[in-house]
Amino acid sequence: MIVEHAKYLTELLQDAYPALAVERTPSRPEQYTLRSQQGAMLLFFREARYSDPARPSPHGIDELQFELTILKKNLQRTGAADGIEEMIDDLGKALSGIRFSGFVYYPAGAGFSDYDASAGVWSYDMSLVGYRVTELEVAA
């Protein structure tokens, strides 16, 4: 389940931002080098929450959390290229209410992560949480 959701989110983001490299976070993120001058997005699986033992769910996982790291050389818009600030605004809108395989996703927060002065790359993280929806919620 986790792999399928990560694959779906990665493909969705790549389709929405074709100029960026969108990929799963590598095993050694400290060695990652920017492959596109436009920037990159790295998707990282953060956590799965299982159903409450007092109210067990036949599905097991009720919540999935992913972290999206946005890497760009420009913080604000420069010419036609969006900066990280514009991307966070756009992603917040684009990722709100996405449905996949019985889950609905919403951004949970975004903020500064790092600045690599030697490469001139800004790094911001956005948390994305998927909640399992019931059959009644899907029908509504």
| Confidence class for position 84, pLDDT limits 50, 70, 90 | confident
Cβ of 113: how many Cβ atoms within 10 Å?
Answer: 14
Residue-level pLDDT at 130:
96
Instruction: Return the CATH number at 108.
Output: 3.30.2000.10
Burial grade of 4 (CB within 10 A; 0-12, 13-18, 19 or more): exposed
Average pLDDT, the chain: 86
Q: Quick: pLDDT tens for 32-47.
A: 888 888 889 999 999 9
Of the chain, the end-to-end C-alpha distance in Å amounts to 24
Q: How many distinct structural domains can be found in the chain?
A: 1
With CA atoms as reference, report the closest residue to 70 among 31, 25, 105, 108.
Answer: 25
| Confidence class for position 10, pLDDT limits 50, 70, 90 | very high
State pTM to two decimals. Answer: 0.85
Q: Quick: pLDDT tens for 106-129.
A: 999 999 999 989 888 999 999 999
Query: Which range scores top for mean pLDDT: 51-55, 110-114, 118-122, 132-136?
Result: 110-114
Domain containing 106 equals 2-139
